[in-house]
Structure formats: C-alpha cells, structure tokens
Structure 1
Amino acid sequence: MIKAENFNIPEHKPRILIAPLDWGLGHATRCIPIIFTLIHQGCTVFVAAEGPVKTLLQKEFPDLLFIELKGYRVSYSRNKFWMPVKLLLQLPKILFRIYAENRWLKNAVKVNSINAIISDNRMGLFHHKIPCIYITHQLTIKTGNRFTENIAQKIHYHYINKFSTCWVPDAAGIVNLAGALSHPAILPKVPVTYLGPLSRFKKRDVESKYDLCIILSGPEPQRTIFEKIILQDLNKAEGKVCLVRGLPSETEVPRLNNSSIEIKNHLAAEELNNVMLQSKIIISRCGYSTVMDLVNLQKKAILIPTPGQTEQEYLGGYLQEQKIFYCVDQNSFSLPEVLKSAAAFEFNTASFTVNDYENVVENFVATLRHQ
C-alpha cells in the first residue's frame, strides 16, 4: 500500500519522505538525528521502509507516518572470499529494485503530496520535479580491486547525479572518519555537502560500570560466527562485561559460568547509549554508523571488520592508521590478546563537531518553505 494513513496536515508544513537502505540497520540509525531535526522544524515526515528497519524506526518514532517500501534484501556469504561473487550475482536483483522503487516513488509522491525526498543510499528514489537528497559516505566503493572500484564508482555516480544534492555524513577537512570513502579524487556533478558525523547518541558524564562492552551486529552468518568466538573467551574474562547480542527478537540468552558477564539480546537506543558511556572500552563491528556513534561518545574502541565487507576492512585499517581506533581481523581474534594489545595502543580520539548536519537540514527546510 503506497498511501500513508491517518494524517491531516496543514499545507504550510513541508512533507518530506525519508527512506534508508535495508543493508543492516546502520542506514536507519544515522537517519534518526535527521528525522528529529525535521520534526523540530515542523515538517511532516513520512518513512518508507519494511522489516527490521521499519521496526527500529517505529520504536523511535511511533507517531510518524510509515509507508511500506520493499528493501533490496541482499544476502551475504559465510565465506569472505565468496562475498564479492555473491554480491555480483545479486546485481541484477539490485538494479531491478532501483528501477522498481523509482516507479513506486512517482506514485507515492503524487498520492501523499510529498514536497521533498531524503534517500539514504536508495539509488532509485530520485525525482525530477521535487528536491531529492541522496545520503552516502561511500563516494568511493572499495572492492579490493582498482578496476572494479572505478566501475562501481561510475555506476554509483550515474545514480547520484540524478538527485538534487548529495549529503555526506563526514567532516569536510583532512581530519575525517572515512578517508577515501568519503573524499574521492573526483566528486559527483551534483552539489556535495559534508554534514559532519551523524549520531543518535548523546555524550554526558556518567560513572563507569563496565570494564568492557561488546556489541554484536551486522548480517548473518558472520554475526553468529563472531558471537561463538566471543563466548569461548568470555568465561575467562576479567572484570565487569556487558555483551549486547544484537538480536531484538530473541527471548533466551546463553548461560556462562561467569557471574560478572551481563548478556543482553538487545538494548533500545537510550539503554545502549548509557551502557556505552558506562564502559571503559568497547568491542564492535566497524560499520560506519557505529564508528560515528563511538566518535560522538569519545569512547575507546576495538573494531572487528565483518569478513568480506571490503568497506569495513578499509575503514578499520584507516581508523587504526589515524590512531582513532584499534582494529583486529576476526580470524585472528583472541579476547585476552586483543585487550592486551589495545591497552598499549595510543588512542587519539579526534574531536569532531557532530551538529553540523542541523544547520544543513534547517537550511534545506527553509528553502522548501520559500518555494
């Protein structure tokens, strides 16, 4: 169903459709601060999503208007070396979804009187008659091969250039979080605006409760594989540890012979914010949204790239080189050894302004009101 239900909105309020990609939950979580800003600016916000992305955003914004939009539904390989092949085989499906969502959009805009679109990495949500924003931090798509990277960038730019503007959630200067991913040699033809990091979390002073927080996330089967590695080491762990499994639908948790270990299937945003602040060091995947959250909270972290995800592998290496975070390969992960190495690592957590995006979003809304 395309038409959103139960609304009676004054015409002077800009009606904005926001749609995050469904590859994990990171695209959705980084849209949360943008949605808050739109709401504070008096906009009527429509969210286009399905599945876990829709569920997450409905929990954060139960009063928003949700429209069902099918995701790309990409599946991942258990073996990191087959990951690029599996993604390549799914390219026809992805291209079809881009075509289908663009047809869907034309009808959705008409039925719901949408004034503007904000698309987080959904390449088909461009429109030639109203402003449409494309959000991405991957202006360079790392594939592990220069030739295929150039092809991937050309395809990506082909779609980006159909939008009005591209917003990049990273700092504009040489001190930045994503390196070559967000700062390519050649930019798209459309205007590019750097938002600064986007994070749904808030930093504040709290007392430490945990020596270590471990946050599991990302696509299966790698989430489960990494969890098994972690659980093998946790019985021998010293100090207070909180393990967040990233499984909101689960009701039972693994039992360990260590009373100092707390295991949570899932934590809502505010609870996770608190646990991260209360932790001396954090172990997590290095998805970009997680990286932005860690920087915003100014936490020391050990990053474990998801095997086969070349973006995360590049990002982890770059952030370690900048001494912002410590990075370890999953295949060589040993909790005692990793904690020992991280203790000797000289963390240089850079200070980034995380509210730049507010001015950009506010100016965008102002232009809509004057059209």
Structure 2
Amino acid sequence: MILQERKRILVAPLNWGLGHATRCIPVIEALENHGFEPVIASDGIALALLKKEFPHLKAVELPGYQIEYAKNGAFFKLKLIGQIPKMIKAVRHENTLVQQIVKEYNISGIISDNRLGVFCKKIPSVFITHQLNVLTGNTTWFTSKIHQQFIKKYNECWVPDVQTTPNLSGKLGHTENEGLKVKYIGPLSRLHKKPLEKKYDLMAILSGPEPQRTMLEEKLSTELTRYKGRVIFVKGVVEQEEKVTVRDNITYYNFMNTAALEQAFNESDKVLCRSGYTTIMDLAQLGKKAFFIPTPGQYEQEYLAYKLKKTGLVPYARQSAFKVEDLEKIDMYKGLKNLGSDMRWKDLFGLFECK
C-alpha cells in the first residue's frame, strides 16, 4: 500500500508582539492532528517562539516589516502612517519570497495571520484576522478599506470570534461589507482551564511591540513592589534560556512555553496585562478576572479595553496613570467567560483538500 504524502500548509503569523504567533499554535496543532504537515514562516520573536514550540517542523524566515513604534502614544498613528510606503514595499518583497517558498517546499495551502504578502493565487490561501475594521480614529474608514482590499485577495478570511452577540471583538471583527468571504471560527487559545491550587494572587504578563513593552515592564516592576500578595511576572522576552529571578513578593520569568504558561495562568487568581485580542481570547478560555493596561496609541487595544469595561467585565487604566491600588477594582467586575464555538477544524481544512 502506498502511503499518501501529507499536504504541506504554510502558516505565517505577523511578528507584532507574541499574540499572532501564540494564537497560531492551536491552528498548527489542529493541522498536524488532521494529517497535514505545517511549515512555519515568520520573523523575530514570533518565529523564535514557534520554533521552540514545534522544533520538529520546518521553519522559514521571512523579512520583517521593520516598523518602528513611537515612544509617545500620541504619535503612534502618525509614525505608523508615515511608514506605509515602506510597509507596502516590504509586503511586495514578502510575496515574491512566498512564491519561491510555495515552489521549493511544495506547499498546498496557506494560512496567513495578518501577514499581507503571504498569499498565492495558485493554491488555497486563508487570512486570519480579528480586525475586519482597523481603528485609527478619524482615519478608520481609510485604514479599514485598505485592509479589506488585501483580505479580498484570499479565498477565505477566518475571524477568531463568534458571529453572534455577545462576542469578544465587537466592531473590530464584525462588518457590513458583504464582499469579504468571512468565516467565524470561534476564539482561538492554546490554553486550557485546569482545577489547580492557587499559588499566586496576581499574574502580570507582558506582550506587544517595543519600546512600549519595556516601558510597561519598568513601571510595573516599581508599582508591584507595593502589591500585598504573591506575584508571578512574565516579561514576554523570548530568549535562548528560561530565566527566573525572585525579588521580594515577585517571581520574574523572561518567557514561558505553552505548558508552563498554562500552569501559571491556572495557578493565578487574577491577571494584569495588555488588552491585546489574543490575551483576551486566552482569558475568556480560562474564565479569568483581569485588569487591562492598553498599549498607548493603539486604538484597537483602547477600544477593546473600553468595550469590556463598559459591559462590566474588566476594568482598565491608561499606562501613564496606572497605580497598584487600581487592582482593587477587579472584584467589582464579572471577568471573562468562555463563549464556546461549534467550529470544526475538519470542515475548515476542507478548503485544502480540494483538488
């Protein structure tokens, strides 16, 4: 009997913090479980993280978009818009490389998580995003239109949320544009809820682009020394080796793999973090109470934090104004809950089975 060769699927998350890479972990696992061979493609810490999680898989380095982020949140949008020409050039270069990768590795399908140049007209290509609308204040109509034009190049767009209300992404992941081939696949999380004994009163976990990640780390390292309780602090810095240091009531980790992170979440009573969408999906999966500090100038995170506070789920504070006493507000809010989903990977992956 001749064994049928497994189809190779290129999985390529954007290197913007760790969120896009971590939410691709359950996608990669599901591909393997359904008889496909994932090939990983990214750059920077996103690629480093996935190589640690899946050392047995082929991994390809793509060029970074080389986006620089403002230290002052007020200039975040201005600096980002000024780099659009450079970004478009990078996306075109990325697409040229992807055509070569498809040929060299005999790729049968593509799953791109927000990498705009990772698609190929010759094979089924999927775009994963929770941002059908890209919020940028008074230029939202423009940035959303541009993003949706890119999405139209793909065979399908998978939104990691539910289509109905209540949902997690709000107006980010729901649009009236009927020209998009959207499938709501339910929230994605690599984590699972487990009944473990609580070891920490608070888990602080950082993510997102520099320099804001470092700026928040410095602020929280000072503020949390006044917290009356045990703290586990995951900095979100992916390095060769895991480093652990203990100072007073705080245990610091530079990073954690999925298994260790899952345990830490389950052993922690409350969570202090950014209001990034991947983190929100993880918190919902685990049914956690939390406190958000959105990245300054990131309209998406500010919107999500405001939305979840308004619905009585999670409180938040601006980075510049945050004080450790703010954490007392957590108990006044309901926390996040698992929304569930009737999505089946077998049905989604049917796209790649087409001849």
Q: TM-score by structure 2 length?
A: 0.94
Q: Residues 219 and 339 (structure 1 numbering): CA distance in 2 closer, same or farther, change over 3 Å? A: same
Aligned counterpart in structure 2 of residue 133 of structure 1, from 105, 126, 129: 126
**2:208 matched to which residue of 1?**
218
Q: String of CA shifts for 1:224-246, please: whole Å, max 9, x gaps.
A: 22222212222222121111122
Give the counterpart letter for 1:185 in structure 2.
E
| CA RMSD in angstroms, aligned pairs only | 1.9
Give the counterpart letter for 1:34 in structure 2.
V
Aligned counterpart in structure 2 of residue 346 of structure 1, from 305, 330, 333: 333
**1:5 matched to which residue of 2?**
none
**1:177 matched to which residue of 2?**
168
State whether residues 22 and 73 of structure 1, in contact with CA within 8 Å, keep that contact through their aligned partners in structure 2. no
| Unpaired runs of at least 5, structure 1 | 1-8
| Unpaired runs of at least 5, structure 2 | none
Distance 2:112 2:148 in 1: 15
Alignment of 1:1-371 (within 5 A): 12-145=5-138, 148-187=139-178, 189-249=179-239, 256=247, 258=248, 260-336=249-325, 338-343=326-331, 345-353=332-340, 356-357=342-343, 359=344, 361-371=345-355
State whether residues 67 and 83 of structure 2, in contact with CA within 8 Å, keep that contact through their aligned partners in structure 1. yes
Q: How far has the Cα of 1:217 moved from its partner?
A: 1.9
Q: How far has the Cα of 1:75 moved from its partner?
A: 1.6
Among all aligned residue pairs of Structure 1 and Structure 2, give the percentage whose two residues are the same amino acid.
41
Distance 2:150 2:287 in 1: 35
Q: String of CA shifts for 1:178-213, please: whole Å, max 9, x gaps.
A: 1000012324x2421001100011111111111111
* Stretch moving more, 35-44 or 45-54: 45-54
Q: String of CA shifts for 1:143-169, please: whole Å, max 9, x gaps.
A: 011xx1111111111111111010001
Give the counterpart letter for 2:29 in structure 1.
F
State whether residues 314 and 333 of structure 2, in contact with CA within 8 Å, keep that contact through their aligned partners in structure 1. no
Q: How far has the Cα of 1:247 moved from its partner?
A: 2.1
Q: Residues 165 and 219 (structure 1 numbering): CA distance in 2 closer, same or farther, change over 3 Å? A: same
Q: String of CA shifts for 1:9-55, please: whole Å, max 9, x gaps.
A: 96542211111111111111101000000000110111112221111
Distance 1:124 1:228 in 2: 35
Distance 1:311 1:346 in 2: 21
- Count of residues paired in the alignment: 353
Distance 1:236 1:150 in 2: 43
Distance 2:329 2:349 in 1: 47
Query: Secondary structure of the residue that 1:280 maps to in structure 2?
Result: strand
Give the counterpart letter for 2:318 in structure 1.
D
Distance 2:67 2:4 in 1: 38
State whether residues 323 and 349 of structure 1, in contact with CA within 8 Å, keep that contact through their aligned partners in structure 2. no
4+ long deviations beyond 6 Å: 250-255
